[in-house]
Structures are given as structure tokens and as C-alpha cells.
Amino acid sequence: MLDIVSFSLIGLGCLLGLIGGIGILRLPDTYARLHAVGVTDTLCTFLILTGLALQADSYIHVAKLSLIFMFLAFTSPASSYALANNAWRWGLRHKQKIHVQSLKQDGS
């Protein structure tokens, strides 16, 4: 029963990560993309690390996985905020798209 629960959590976390990756490709502007990744990233990490903690052999491994999650829970929102704040400061407004192809052609 424990294996089924842990594999389900890991599978759900991977599916949520895939949905976040699709959100990066499909959403229209930088802020929507950043929102999709910021929301799915933390929950995806929590589900995967919880599934791994259920499979762990000792409490030391569970403590290490908990520390990894705590680090990501603090740094993920801070990095999303820093990216959005700097994009706004540099003049990137809503509904503006960054075209990677044009950046590559101008830089070479």
C-alpha cells in the first residue's frame, strides 16, 4: 500500500511538472509563464519529495528531503519575484512577448 501511495505521489508530481512545462510554452507573456511555473514548481517538488520520503529507509534521508523542500519553498517564490520585478523595471509590460529567434539573429 505504501508503494502505491508513494508512486502515485511521484507520478502526480511529474505530471504537474509536465503541465508547468507546457504552460511555459503555451502562455502568452512573461508574467503568465512565470506564474505557471512558480505555482506548479513548489507543489511538484512537494509531491515528488513526499513520495521519495515514503520510500526512504531511514529518518536521516527523510530529514535531508525535508531540508531540500524547505530550501526550495523559500527560494522559489523569491526567485519568481526577482524575475518579475526586474522584468517590470526593464520595461517589459503585459502582453509583450520576447522573441528568442530575433535575439539570436541580433546577437550573432
Going along 4-100, which residue ranges are E strands? none
Gap between the Cα atoms of 34 and 37, Å rounded: 5
pLDDT digits (tens, 9 = 90+) for 28-79: 888 888 888 888 888 999 999 999 999 999 999 999 999 999 999 999 889 8
What is the total count of domains within the chain? 1
In terms of residue numbers, what domain contains 28?
2-107
Which pTM was predicted? 0.76
Burial status of residue 32 (CB atoms within 10 A of its CB: 0-12, 13-18, 19 or more): middle
pLDDT digits (tens, 9 = 90+) for 4-31: 999 999 999 999 999 999 988 888 888 8
